[in-house]
């Protein structure tokens, strides 16, 4: 039986980093690690901060379809692994109020001036479909409220 969105959220709750894959120049696929800053009460959306003048933002402006790959737990300690891939659509947000809604103090490591960092952009990835594997069960969830 396929997992629910709530079960998927439970799997993902302790995973901080994702590999965010974009379509890049010449048809290549680029990926980079992105921290969701433990903002992972997963409801189908993920939130990341970046700077406007990066290749990532240029890629998203050209093609908003992205992939997010999460991996957590598991390994040699006998814990169940967590692998989740989310297909989604990215939206670039330039609203300071939205920055404040998703800001955590750990972000100051990358963005020294906080929500006032020049060129700051909030990336919202709205998930369309999620694929998961937890070492025993695998499946796919079409995320609610999204036209596929």
What's residue 131's pLDDT? 95
What's residue 113's pLDDT? 96
Q: Structural domains in the chain?
A: 5-142 (2.30.110.10)
In Å, what is the CA distance from 117 to each residue of 34, 36, 39, 90, 124?
18, 18, 20, 21, 18
- Residues facing 121 on adjacent strands: 50
Q: Give the three-class secondary structure for 78.
A: coil
What's residue 29's pLDDT? 96
Nearest to 32 by CA among 72, 81, 68, 61: 68
Consecutive 10-residue runs of the chain (148 residues): their mean pLDDT?
84 87 94 79 89 97 96 69 94 97 90 96 96 90 65
């Amino acid at each position: 039986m396929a997992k629910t969105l709530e079960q998927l959220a439970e799997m993902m709750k302790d995973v901080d980093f994702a590999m965010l894959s974009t379509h890049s120049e010449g048809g290549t696929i680029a990926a980079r690690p992105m921290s969701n800053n433990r903002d992972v009460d997963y409801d189908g959306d993920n939130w990341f901060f970046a700077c406007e003048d990066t290749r990532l933002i240029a890629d998203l402006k050209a093609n908003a379809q992205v992939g997010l790959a999460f991996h957590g737990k598991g390994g040699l300690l006998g814990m169940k692994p967590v692998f989740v891939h989310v297909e989604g659509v990215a939206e670039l947000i330039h609203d300071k109020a939205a920055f404040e809604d998703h800001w955590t103090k750990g972000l100051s490591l990358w963005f020294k001036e906080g929500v006032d960092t020049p060129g700051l952009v909030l990336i919202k990835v709205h998930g369309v479909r999620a694929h998961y594997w937890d070492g025993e069960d695998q499946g796919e969830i079409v995320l609610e409220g999204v036209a596929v």
